[in-house]
């Protein structure tokens, strides 16, 4: 594995609800699929990527979890784990690592298999990370 190198320029991630991904998740037919409804409105959020890692998940005061990219909502995507994924610097860009989440993490193709837990997957400008029931994170370089 190549050494971790911090990105030289500020990358960012835009978080949004993705209706196409939601339909893929519903078609998979998990035990809660029939009770899920796509949210009527979710404001896009933007986060700058910085430091040696960025935790993606949902805040939980009782568990002491405070992710750098907090997807607590509203509305809250019930398929996002409290500690779902990790973004780490990788060869001048970033990589995503699934933290053995309950529902998996997908990169670029939500109908493909989820990425393997605890293995960094390099991202490029425009890569999309899918997690939860409808959440999509688009990674962009400057």
When computed from its CA atoms, the radius of gyration of the chain, rounded to whole angstroms, is: 14
* Model confidence at 8: pLDDT above 60: no
Q: Annotate 100-128 with b (16+ C-beta within 10 A) or e (fewer).
A: ebebbbbbeebeeeebeeeebbebeeebb
How far is residue 142's CA from residue 34's CA, in Å, rounded to a whole number?
40
Residue with tokens 């400008």: 125
How far is residue 56's CA from residue 107's CA, in Å, rounded to a whole number?
14
pLDDT tens across 63-119, in order?
888 999 999 878 889 999 999 999 999 998 999 999 999 999 999 999 899 999 999
How far is residue 140's CA from residue 13's CA, in Å, rounded to a whole number?
6
**Phi, psi angle pair for 82, to nearest 5°:** -60, -45
pLDDT of residue 3: 57
Cβ atoms within 10 Å, residue 95: 19
User: Which has more pLDDT, 40 or 9?
Assistant: 40
pLDDT of residue 7: 46
CA distances (Å), 90 to each of 48, 98, 109, 123, 136, in order? 16, 15, 21, 8, 20
């Amino acid at each position: 594995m190549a050494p971790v190198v911090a990105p030289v320029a500020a990358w960012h991630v835009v978080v949004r609800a993705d209706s196409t991904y939601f339909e893929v998740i519903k078609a998979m037919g998990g035990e809660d699929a029939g009770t899920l409804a796509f949210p009527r409105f979710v404001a896009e959020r933007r986060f700058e990527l910085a430091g040696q890692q960025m935790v993606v998940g949902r805040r939980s005061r009782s568990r002491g979890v405070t992710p750098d990219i907090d997807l607590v909502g509203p509305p809250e995507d019930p398929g996002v784990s409290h500690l779902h994924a990790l973004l780490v610097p990788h060869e001048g860009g970033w990589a995503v690592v699934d933290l053995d989440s309950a529902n998996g993490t997908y990169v670029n193709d939500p109908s493909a298999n989820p990425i393997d837990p605890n293995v960094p997957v390099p991202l490029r400008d425009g890569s999309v990370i899918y997690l939860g029931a409808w959440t999509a994170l688009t990674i962009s370089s400057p």
